A = this chain, B = another copy of it.
Amino acid sequence: MATQFGEKVRELREQQHLYLRQVAPLLEMDTAQLSKIEKGSRQLKREQIPLLAGILKANADELLVLWLADQLYDVVKDEDVALKAMDAAQQTIKSKKKQNRNK
């Protein structure tokens, strides 16, 4: 249930001494929603990550990596072949990267 992204957001928010009720309006949501995001039962929208990073004075890419890792984990979390699937996907990404370099 808990997510790496949510836990990191909470940690950063507390470091900044901010309350949910202070941060939530900046993201145009209510405190309940932000609470759920930190607890991992809702997803922040991908495009809101840079804004949130700004609010929490954090690195947007670092937050993005955690956010993506949560999405990836969600796909394979119950699968015995999770690591094999991850390897296969990694290969795909690497070969696409190579393609992009050569065009």
Residue of B whose beta carbon sits closest to that of A76: B68
Q: Interface 1/0s, chain A 42-73, versus B by CB < 8 A? A: 00000000000000000001001110111111
Tell me the smallest distance from the CB of A35 to a CB of chain B, in Å: 23
Is A18 in contact with chain B by the CB < 8 A criterion?
A: no
Tell me the number of copies of this protein: 2
With a cutoff of 8 Å between Cβ atoms, the chain B residues found around residue A86 in the complex are: 69, 72, 86, 89-90, 93
A80 to B70, CA, bound (A): 16
Interface size class of chain A, counting residues whose CB lies under 8 Å from the partner chain: 20 to 34
Interface residues of A (CB under 8 A from B): 4, 61, 64-66, 68-73, 75-77, 79-86, 88-90, 92-94, 96
